[in-house]
Amino acid sequence: MSLNTPENPQADQMADESMVRTLDAQARAIWPQEVQLIDRYDLPPNLRILDAGSGTGEGASRLADHFPRSRVLGVDVLEENLTRARERFAALAPRLSFEQLSVYDLQLPAQSFDLTVCRHVLHTVPHPEQAVAELVRVTRSGGYLHLLAEDYSMIHFEQHAAALDGFWQAVANKFTATSGIDMRSGRNVFGMLAAAGLDNIAVNYVIVDTVRVPRPVFAAILEAWRDGFAGPCAEVTGIALDEVVGYFENMIEQVHDPRRYVVWMVPIVSARVP
Ligand SMILES: C[S@@+](CC[C@H](N)C(=O)[O-])C[C@H]1O[C@@H](n2cnc3c(N)ncnc32)[C@H](O)[C@@H]1O
């Protein structure tokens, strides 16, 4: 039976075993650059931190490690991922805890957090601006929002560039049209924060490329995407499953090939609540 709901339309993929690998490899690739951006907010050490859409706890646990005097709450709608996160990071409880709550309706008091983080979520949910409004509501005046929002026009391959650009364009267009999510949401978050009246809006990029990130780690992201998303990509675009798997195999090959350059630019949009 499908776990998909209108507020988590990719829940089947989010609960899949491949997503555990996706989130692990993404965090290993992204966190070393991301944490340097977080340090720029110059926040006090004893923070209250929210990780909205915390998944298997990759981000929440790294935040708890990085800020050892902080309290971190991870929230997610999927019980499967909450259970994984609680089991993996039991040693950090009760300073790190996880609750089943939706990012659209957090059921938490206004202005409760100094730092509100939302990683790899906004491109998977419809009406991301409503989620952002809720994140703003729970962040205190002077606190920061840190939003990692993916954009699938920002992944570039050197070989077969036209075919692979066309593949990602078809995937982004079709998912956007059929499930109401925006797989290019990365470029739209600035506007959402500006509309919400926030200060100090910054757009930075974590560069996941074959120069900065070990090739096996980058390849592990694409392997996990292939295992979790080839089927849905074929279904939504009408491209044959074999062909979709072939595209992923080609991307993985290029990442492993020391003669090739591959880059995935990951926007991180941050702002201060006035
Ligand atoms: C791609 S994962 C990212 C997990 C984590 N933030 C990380 O960086 O590893 C997206 C997560 O958002 C969760 N999610 C989707 N819709 C949600 C909603 N409406 N409220 C809370 N979480 C949601 C999914 O269940 C999934 O665990």
Contact 55, 224 (CB under 8 A): no
Q: Which atom of ligand 1 lies at the shortest distance from residue 131's CA? A: 19
pLDDT at 217 exceeding the cut of 70: yes
The structural domains of the chain, ordered by start, are 11-272 (3.40.50.150)
Q: Which atom of ligand 1 lies at the shortest distance from residue 78's CA? A: 25
Q: Distances in Å between the alpha carbon of 241 and those of 57, 179, 197?
A: 31, 20, 44
Q: How far is the CA of 235 from the centre of ligand 1 (A)?
A: 22
Q: How far is the CA of 234 from the centre of ligand 1 (A)?
A: 23
| The pLDDT value given to residue 3 | 73
Q: What DSSP state is assigned to residue 154?
A: S
Helix, strand and coil percent figures for the chain, each rounded to 5: 45, 25, 30
Q: What DSSP state is assigned to residue 129?
A: H
Q: How far is the CA of 19 from the centre of ligand 1 (A)?
A: 11
Asked whether 78 lines ligand 1 (CB < 6 A), one says yes
Asked whether 103 lines ligand 1 (CB < 6 A), one says yes
Residue of minimum CA distance from atom 13 in ligand 1: 53
pTM exceeds 0.85: yes
Q: How far is the CA of 89 from the centre of ligand 1 (A)?
A: 17
Which pLDDT tens digit goes with each residue over 133-181?
999 999 999 999 999 999 999 999 999 999 999 999 999 999 888 888 8
Structure tokens at 30: 């992204």
Asked whether 7 lines ligand 1 (CB < 6 A), one says yes
Contact 138, 50 (CB under 8 A): yes
| 50-64 CB burial, b ≥16 within 10 A, e <16 | bbbbbbbbbbbbbbb
Structure tokens at 26: 């993404």
- Strands 113-119 vs 139-148: parallel, antiparallel or unpaired: parallel
Q: How far is the CA of 137 from the centre of ligand 1 (A)?
A: 19
| 73-100 CB burial, b ≥16 within 10 A, e <16 | bbbbbbebbbebbeeebeebeeebbbee
* From 8, 79, 152, mutation site for ligand 1 pocket: most ligand atoms within 8 A of C-beta: 8
| The pLDDT value given to residue 265 | 98
Asked whether 84 lines ligand 1 (CB < 6 A), one says no
| Mean of per-residue pLDDT scores for the chain | 95
Which pLDDT tens digit goes with each residue over 172-187?
999 888 888 899 999 9
Which pLDDT tens digit goes with each residue over 45-83?
899 999 999 999 999 999 999 999 999 999 999 999 999
Q: Distances in Å between the alpha carbon of 240 and those of 173, 176, 237, 252, 268?
A: 17, 20, 9, 19, 33
Asked whether 148 lines ligand 1 (CB < 6 A), one says no
Which residue is associated with the tokens 């005046």? 141
Which pLDDT tens digit goes with each residue over 221-264?
999 999 999 999 999 999 999 999 999 999 999 999 999 999 99
Helices (H), 40-160: 58-66, 79-88, 128-137
| The pLDDT value given to residue 42 | 85
Q: How far is the CA of 101 from the centre of ligand 1 (A)?
A: 11
Q: How far is the CA of 254 from the centre of ligand 1 (A)?
A: 29
Q: How far is the CA of 63 from the centre of ligand 1 (A)?
A: 16
| The pLDDT value given to residue 26 | 98
Q: 122 phi and psi, to 5 degrees?
A: -65, -25
* Model confidence band, residue 9 (pLDDT cutoffs 50, 70, 90): low
